Amino acid sequence: MIVAPGFVDHWKTRRLIRLRLNHHDNALEIILRLWSFCQENKRWRFCSLTDQDLDDICRAFNVKADLMSAGFLKEERGVLVVHDWQHFNGQLISSWKNGVKGGRPSKTHGIPTGNPRGTHGEPSHLIYSNLSNQSVLTNSTNSTNTSTRAKPGSIEEVVQYCIEIGLKPDDGKYMYHHWESNGYTNKGRAVRSWKNEIQSWRLANHFPSQKKTLAKPEQKWITKEYPAKISP
């Protein structure tokens, strides 16, 4: 984690210190704990983080509003984002990618390595992809297209994809838990591509947000009063 020399005197830091004066806690420790949490989890976007979770991470009470007011945290379509964390820690993120690939490749100085392509197939390798700002390891031999994978890497990946195609974050959470409960099957058959499955559900208007939009309006019955008959 990279902390700039002017971090203590930065205007965001000073604003958070003023906002936390009546809470008897350390504003600097709140920020550092939040950044450390990002580094430990290798991501800076969180779609299922509650206010209580955030308080537990920072070891303080009611920190969400103050962090957002000071500019350390923002919310995008239900997803909490630690503002600009990835820009200041770009070198750290690059090292994560190199670590997944086995480190930076060594110089060969023109000396051939490995098996010839003409007689031997290439071995399986781990491909790193950053989907929804989260590290995902994909074991693939033919293609890096994530739409062909049967299972998503995480709930955040499903939520992010649903947002990209115009659905709600809750639709992504619903779909992820639906698959987790039935073993990634649909009507008894195994799911071959989770993204294609979501597209099929979207076109058929099966998601909760779509059903609410298409719900029929409540019918109101109009009663008419007739004058009483006068007996002769």
| Structural domain range at position 159 | 143-213
- For residues 51 and 155, what is the distance between their CA atoms, to the nearest angstrom? 18
Question: Is residue 189 a part of any domain in this protein?
Answer: yes
- Rounded to an integer, what distance in angstroms lies between the CA atom of residue 43 and that of residue 133? 6
Helix intervals (H) in the chain:
11-19, 27-41, 51-58, 64-70, 85-88, 90-100, 155-164, 169-182, 194-203, 208-213
Question: Is 2 a member of any domain?
Answer: no
Q: Are 74 and 68 in contact (CB under 8 A)?
A: yes
**Among 88, 108, 129, residue at a domain's last position:** 88
**pTM value?**
0.42
For residue 127, is it within any domain? no
35 falls within a domain: yes
pLDDT value of position 174: 93
In this structure, is residue 46 part of a structural domain? yes
Instruction: Spell out the per-residue pLDDT of the chain, length 232, in tens.
Output: 667 778 788 888 899 999 998 887 888 899 899 888 888 888 888 888 889 998 999 999 889 999 999 999 998 888 888 988 777 777 777 776 676 555 555 565 556 555 555 555 545 444 444 444 444 444 444 444 555 578 898 999 999 999 999 999 999 999 999 989 888 998 888 999 999 999 999 998 989 888 887 666 666 666 666 666 566 5
128 within a domain of the structure (yes/no): no
Distance between CA atoms of 138 and 194, rounded to whole angstroms? 14
Assigned domain for 122 exists: no
- Asked whether residue 114 is assigned to any structural domain, the reply reads no
CATH for 82: 1.10.10
Q: Quick one: pLDDT at residue 167? A: 92
If asked whether residues 17 and 84 sit together in one domain, one would say yes
- Among the three residues 52, 68, 88, which one is the final residue of a domain in this structure? 88
Number of domains in the chain: 2
